[in-house]
Structure 1
Amino acid sequence: MRYFVLKVHSRCDLACDHCYVYEHADQSWRTRPRSIALETVRAAGKRIAEHAATHALPGVQVILHGGEPLLLGADRLDAVLAELQATIASVVRLDLRMQTNAVLLSPAICDVLLRHGVRVGVSLDGDRAANDRHRRFANGASSHARVLRGLALLRQPAYRSLYAGILCTVDVAGDPVAVYEALLAEAPPRVDFLLPHATWDRPPPRPGGTATPYADWLGRIHDRWTAGGRPMPIRLFDALSSTVEYRAGGTEAVGLDPADVVVIETDGAWEQADSLKTAYDGAPATGFDVFSHSVDEVAGHAGVAARQNGLAGVCATCRACPVVRRCGGGLFAHRYRSGSGFDNPSVYCADLKALIARIDPSPADVSRAERGQSVDGSGRDPMSDRDMPDRELDAIGSGYGDAAAMARLVESQVPITRVLLSMVGETEAATPAWELLEHVDAVAPEAVAAVLAHPYVRAWAVRYLEQPAHRDTDRGHLACVAAAAAVRAGVSAELALPVRDGLVHLPALGAYAVASPSMETAELSIAEGEFELRAAAEWWPMRWLDAGGQRVPVEDTDPYRDCHEWPVAGRLSTAAAGSWQSLLTAAWQGIHRDAPAHAPAVRAAFRALVPLVTDPGGRLRSATNRDAFGAVAVADPGSGDALALLLVHEVQHVKLGAVLDRYDLVDKDHRELLTVPWRPIKRPAEAVLQGAYAHLAVADVWRARSREADSEAANEAAEHYHRYRDWVTGALDALHRTGALTADGERFTRRMRETVEKWRDDHR
């Protein structure tokens, strides 16, 4: 367990009628102490530190909650935070957060929070009309102006680093656009929308009897958000849109990630997620407390364990649903029904399906059968906007890909990296680098997007998230990303950057070669777009190549480029860079001559050239990496024609990797290994599809070259063509025999086969 909600005050100064703590089934707050005792804080801190040490956790997050935590007052709050720092921070990195209504936020309290590095989330339901529909004082008075005053305080330069975001509870009776605009006006680093807690026993209101009012309401916000360039992260949308092999979405509300949060009440009781209070009286209880029970004992509690079982933890109806990996069955509490407990779909099931269909017109898990059905029995097709994704699959499945289809693939990549970056931020939020990056994103999101488009930013984020053993090394690169964004945005900053292998790297800009080999960090000064390293160093700017009228960087310094099958080369000399330009010019001519139908895809998806070490035996070397979209790693092939073939081949892998980010083409539960003629060992189905798709393009190039006037060269090309073509058809036959393909995979491979069949009439 890494996330701990600490209830420091069990009462509240507002009387919100939708509050799950006071207005729903569980009423245990009535018997709790009003405020937490320091002895309880100390015991909780020791349990958390003990757990972190036992499991070698890189960090833990403690969220101060209530009730309303600010009812503690500045002095008492300071004492609680000091106790947590004393018991936890000496053992493991401590990320402190608070969720508040901000009514009592003051400079004195902000000073306390600033001293302890606490990030503050504020509850606000939108404009005054929306907020005051539920969030009023007990006497009925409006809380809106007081909350706005607190938010204004957080936006002041002195306290901006405290500001974590806004939590908004959805109310479909209000105007969604007005709510969105009101939230946007508060310049939050992040917004999260919370479906009002409800169960099958106590279902949410559905005004007018409409089947999916919550999807419709949130969908209108999503439309406005995307039309405005996504000016701020919205956690629910980012989580639902994350189709990166179903990586963690960072929220319990959707997805199948294990629940990793427990609650400590003011009396020291360990409880499950607070949202369970909406199910029945006593639902969150574990019977454990911080004085007598460890975190491991809590983690072993049946109720806590039930929320960590992924797909096995949802009901049979959900397991059979094509979008279960996206919605995850919804929030656990929302599944409750008397008699069957939590073994049900979410009470918001129809809304979640419709929302996924609306915000992501190509959800990977929605089968073709599902597309012909309505989610509400009305006959309305929730997937009516599947036309474009189907055309996209057809265009790219043909082996080619027109400009429109490729543009959609390229556009899908930065949002994926942004989601991964937000997950990194969950563990690094209190660092100067993350705070700078959030500031730049607030004032110049296009600058952040430009840095995130660099292929190896995603590669770094994936390694950071998936390989904790490298975290100590990878952590510092966040500062490099933030600095590069600040330079692009013209934001002034001072930041310490890591020195790795003698280099300080700024993604998509270049690197400093530091003179001192023993230096570990160096200060970078940024002012109005100009930057200077405060160390003896030589600046190596990113060099660019002309690829058919498009600028492509030569990436020969990024520390995360070494993620390919072959070793990467070091910094190129000026002469070597010039040689690559000559090769690329010739290669581009070859692509237009031999593979003109592939030119749009190569132009769109070729985003960086990464030189590899040349093979001692003279064999060609090239590679791509799924997590480095657009980067083609290649050793000097000796000729433009050879480079043209390698680029077309590797861009196929780039394209298919991006397609697999958006669609499931292969059944993830398929385990059978397949025999392929181009490898001596059996391969998983997805690897077979990757090989077949790349070989289809290679066959196409050799098919064109088989028509050359030189009969000897033409005959040799024809042999290559027939071999690669037969490899493709054999692989497609194997994939179809095994039943490994999803409905989208069937569609995609049918287009591949249609392309190959058109070649059958060739005279060679």
Structure 2
Amino acid sequence: MTDPAADTPLQQLVFKVHSRCDLACDHCYVYEHADRSWKARPVVIQKGTVTQTARRLAEYAGAVGLESVSVILHGGEPLLAGPARLREICTELTTALTDITPLDLRIHTNGIQLSRRHLDVFAEFGVRVSLSLDGDKLANDRHRLDRRGRSSYDRVLRAVDLLQTPPYRHLFGGLLCTVDVRNDPVAVHDALTALDPPRIDYLLPHSTWDNPPPRGDSGSQTPYADWLLTIFDRWTEQGRKVPVRTFDSVLSTLHGGPSLTEAMGLAPSDLAVVETDGTFEQADSLKTAYDGAPATGYDVFRNDFAELARHPGVRARQTGLAGVSETCRRCPVVQSCGGGLYAHRYSSENGFDNPSVFCADLRALVDGIADRITERALFPGVHDPDELSFALLKQDRERLAAANERLAGRPDWDETWHALLRLDADDDGATHLNRLLAHPYVRSSLRRSGQSGTTTTARCASVAVAAAVHAQAPLQLSWEQPSRELHLPSLGTMTLPAPGRVEATVTGRTVSVRLADGSTSATDTGPGPWWRPLTTLEMSDGNGTPPLLIDDADPWRAVYAAEVSAPLTPDALAAFRDLLRTALSSGTRPPLPLAVVTPLAAGTGVRGDEHGLGALGVAVDAEPAVLARELPRHLRRARLAALREAAHLHVPGSRAGELFAEASDGLGDAEHAGPSSAAAASALARTERALTRLTGLPARELTESGAAFLEELHAEWRRLV
């Protein structure tokens, strides 16, 4: 095997399984732009090519030690390969990688051919499905017609409806929308959000300086920024109920976090492409530059992924700030914009050494979002733990109130809302309701409030029941339960005979559930044949620390950049508790509140909640020593993420965000290493460099909260030196 060392390992594979399409979209970069290589390729990928690709990928993943691999089934239109061939492909990939690293399978499709036969295959292998749809019918039909000139809109909506049915809802990955500035942005966004997708991606049309994008007839110099900012305002007005990748990425980078999309930000590309003939290519978007632009001269039969990772074209997209044009390096929004998508920089005169052809739009978009979030009132004192908790709880309550505005008058919602209000009116009930609202996974469900009314109502009803049990407050509440697992946050899970209508009655610590057929089950929250309580771990530290909840069942627990485990068997759960007990008794004391630990799939290590709000994910096979070593850093990251949730620490776009993360990580590493060790000295030196650079920033770049946090980091550094 060739030496796999590369600046950034390849972790994503776009796997072309069919090279033709059943639509004739006039903005398609595969068939309608400069590159014509599709004409000479096999229509459908052959079994031998799949086998060789899977083998090469497994070899590379093992040699590099990849934590996970993402494979996106693509085309053309990948569904044209048929359910049987797609099952063979998923089987080959899964078999090759099972013992090497976790595999994240996805498919990007126009959805025209989507059937239950396809979805049964995808359910078997956990394949997430993203659909292309450009908005409402008028917007979609500007470009997305079939070869007979007919609309694709109604057929895509049938695919969405199929994905929204209970057996397949968990497979829905999101909607991909190509921007056309002639379309009404609000109509487009409202049409997409009405479909209740888990995510929306707005994609700029592939263009270059030789073939610039259409600018519409508004006369604006930045029509794409204007269009997207109109949607940003609408998105904010709606409570940001559906994640939008472009906006989330800009918000992340403005606050010092990572880029979330290759189209913006300086994160190095980790993408490879394998065509139906086994040819290795660079990013598909390069097809818009010139004929043969994505070519590497490599294929899976003669070359491996390590060779591809060292290809000059691949490396060119991994050099961060050094890889953008001089104009971009001088630009104040380059951390957020990243020079735009690599393909969009191309001109026949300078190659890719240009700003994006959308440069003015990207600058206006980042500046526009920065202006909008800077206008919000800042929280000046959230460096104090109690104030931080209060600020986060305030946000949770605002999200709950937004859900009420959206669902008022809908079936079962008003009864659920009034139950929450009754609990909130009682001192003891309010205490427990606040504790439930602050639960990391309840917060997770409130953040993702774009789910259906039935799902939101069922979740909030379960919160009300759990709060009533804790407060021993009488409660009777009925709702439509969308799944067999009725999970009561912080308590446990009832397994029902089937989804359907339930009526829950709380008397003291007992919950009775009457089903639609009239049968009744009850629990006093102790174990039973149909009730599985959650496990806790007592923290014997002498400080009155509340028990640590081990939650392997909450349906909203997937807040980690890793796969969560299925609910554990009793023996596996006991082993997991022993792992935590050993790690937490090894002298390490969490410097921050930790409420919930969730088991993750084997091999995924230790992961923090993506929002940093009191939860930690730990692989079921983690070593106690590794957990003890990594815990301080992860909890410090959680602290920083929670601060960013509640307040602005710095002016959007400032390098302060990156420096705060470096200083926080250094303190976490030093805490574990222990006093006087070489590792601690190295970590504290890194922290000192970051703090020195933070102190040297212009005073205007830090908010009052940021300045207070900087002083706190200084004090902790002085304590550890």
Judge conservation of contact 1:626–1:657 (CA < 8 Å) in 2.
no
1:488 aligns to 2:499 (yes or no): no
Pairing 1:689-708 to 2, within 5 Å after superposition: none
State yes or no: 1:140 paired with 2:131. no
Residue 664 of structure 1 aligns with an amino acid whose one-letter code is: S
Asked if 1:741 corresponds to 2:698, the answer is yes
Partner of 2:119: 110
Residue aligning to 1:66: 75
How far 1:113 sits from its partner (Å)? 2.5
Mapping of residues 217-236 of structure 1, within 5 Å: 217-236=227-246
Q: Using a 3 Å threshold, how does the CA distance of structure 1 residues 450 and 255 change in structure 2: closer, same or farther?
A: farther
Partner residue, 2:108: 99
* Structure 1 unmatched ranges of 5 or more: 364-385, 416-442, 461-482, 498-505, 513-521, 544-552, 573-606, 609-623, 632-652, 674-678, 691-733, 753-764
The 1-side partners of 2:258 and 2:436 are apart by: 19
Aligned equivalent of 1:360: 370
Q: Distance in 2 between matches of 1:36 and 1:80?
A: 9
Secondary structure at the aligned position of 1:126 is classed as coil
Q: What is the deviation of 1:342?
A: 1.3
- Are the aligned partners of 2:12 and 2:71 in contact in 1 as well (CA < 8 Å)? yes
Seen in structure 2, the aligned counterparts of structure 1 residues 293 and 407 have a Cα distance that, compared at 3 Å, is: same
CA distance in 2, matches of 1:232, 1:626: 25
SS state at 1:120 partner: strand
- The reply to whether residue 50 of structure 1 matches residue 41 of structure 2 is no
* Cα RMSD (Å): 5.2
One-letter amino acid of the structure 2 residue matched with residue 108 of structure 1: R
Q: Does residue 5 of structure 1 match 2:7? A: no
Amino acid at match of 1:70: L
Equivalence map 1:712-727=2 (5 Å)? none
Offset of residue 89 of structure 1: 3.2
Task: Please state if 1:664 is matched with 2:654.
Answer: yes
Taking the aligned partners of 2:705 and 2:331, their CA distance within structure 1 comes to 22
Amino acid at match of 2:548: T
Cα gap change, 1:79/1:337 in structure 2, threshold over 3 Å: closer, same or farther? same
Aligned ranges 1:168-207 → 2 under 5 Å: 168-207=177-216
Residue of structure 1 equivalent to 2:358:
348
Q: 1:688 to 1:451 in 2, by over 3 A?
A: farther
Q: Is the 8 A contact 1:362 1:662 kept in 2?
A: no
Structure 1 residue 235 displacement after superposition = 1.3
Q: Which moved more, 1:244-253 or 1:288-297?
A: 244-253
How far residue 135 of structure 1 moved from its aligned partner, in angstroms, is 0.6
**Matching residue of 2:34:** 25
Question: Residue 262 in 1 paired to residue 311 in 2?
Answer: no
Conserved? CA contact 2:370–2:652, under 8 Å: no
Distance 1:452 1:195, change over 3 A: farther
**Where do residues 81-100 of structure 1 align in structure 2 (5 Å cutoff)?**
81-100=90-109
- Alignment of 1:166 with 2:175, yes or no, is yes
1:249 aligned onto 2:259: yes
Distance in 1, matches of 2:139 and 2:40, equals 32
Within 1, Cα distance between the matches of 2:68 and 2:641?
Answer: 33
User: In the alignment, what sits opposite 1:14?
Assistant: 23
TM-score, structure 1 normalization: 0.59
Paired residue type of 2:271: V
Distance 1:16 1:655, change over 3 A: closer
Please tell me the residue identity of whatever aligns with 1:628. Answer: R
Change in CA separation of 1:744 and 1:453 when aligned onto 2, cut-off 3 Å:
farther
Report deviation, 1:2.
1.5
Cα offset for 1:688? 10
Alignment counterpart, residue 314 of structure 2, candidates 304, 307, 317: 304
1:568 Cα deviation after fit = 7.0
SS of 1:64's equivalent in the other structure is strand
2:463 maps to a residue whose letter is R
CA distance in 1, matches of 2:75, 2:528: 46
Distance 1:272 1:171 in 2: 26
Partner of 1:557: 548
Match of 2:639 in 1: 628
Rate the CA distance shift 1:80–1:105 in 2: closer, same or farther, 3 A. same
| 2:133 is equivalent to residue 124 of structure 1 | yes
* Partner Cα distance (1:293, 1:570) in 2: 49
CA contact (8 A) 2:13 2:273 kept: yes
Larger radius of gyration: 1
In structure 2, relative to structure 1, the CA distance for the partners of 1:9 and 1:556 (3 Å cut) is same
Query: For residue 80 of structure 1, what is the aligned residue in structure 2?
Result: 89
> Is the CA contact (8 Å cut-off) linking 2:62 and 2:101 kept in structure 1?
yes
Q: Describe the superposition over 1:579-623 as per-residue Cα deviations: whole angstroms up to 9, x where unpaired.
A: xxxxxxxxxxxxxxxxxxxxxxxxxxxx99xxxxxxxxxxxxxxx
Letter in 2 for 1:627: A
Query: What percentage of aligned pairs have identical amino acids?
Result: 44
**Residue pair 1:191, 1:234 contacting (<8 A) in 2 also:** yes
Number of matched pairs: 530
- Return the match for 1:290 from 300, 306, 311: 300
Summarize the alignment of residues 354-503 of structure 1 with structure 2, pairs less than 5 Å apart: 354-361=364-371, 388=375, 392=378, 411=395, 454=438, 487-488=462-463, 493=483
Q: Deviations over 1:345-401 (max 9, x none)?
A: 1111221122222233377xxxxxxxxxxxxxxxxxxxxxx5x36x749x679x99x
In structure 2, the CA distance between the partners of 1:484 and 1:58, relative to structure 1 (3 Å rule), is: farther
Instruction: Name the CA distance, whole Å, in 2 between partners of 1:456 and 1:55.
Output: 33
In the alignment, the residues of structure 2 paired with residue 294 and residue 486 of structure 1 have an alpha-carbon distance, to the nearest angstrom, of 53
**Which amino acid in structure 2 is aligned with residue 215 of structure 1?**
A
Displacement of 1:330 in angstroms is 1.1
Distance in structure 2 (CA, Å) of the matches to 1:665 and 1:92:
34
- How far apart in 1 are the matches of 2:592 and 2:22? 62
Amino acid paired to 1:229:
G
Question: Is residue 649–residue 702 contact of structure 2 (8 Å, CA) maintained in 1?
Answer: no
- Kept in 1: contact 2:71–2:105 (CA 8 A): yes
User: How many angstroms apart in 1 are the aligned matches of 2:591 and 2:703?
Assistant: 37
Q: Alignment partner of 1:627: what SS?
A: helix
The letter of the residue matching 2:67 is P
Task: State the shift of 1:101 in Å.
Answer: 0.7
One-letter identity of the residue aligned with 2:360? A
How far does the alpha carbon of each residue in 1:720-745 deviate from its partner, in whole angstroms, 9 at most, with x for none?
Answer: xxxxxxxxxxxxxx989x74336423
Change (3 A) 1:37 1:454: same
Asked if the contact 1:323–1:353 (Cα under 8 Å) also holds between the matched residues in 2, the reply is: yes
Match of 1:35 in 2: 44
Q: How does 1:571-586 map to 2 (within 5 A)?
A: none
8 Å CA contact 1:510–1:542 kept in 2: the answer is no
Q: CA deviation at 1:747?
A: 9.1
Q: Is the 8 A contact 1:262 1:273 kept in 2?
A: yes
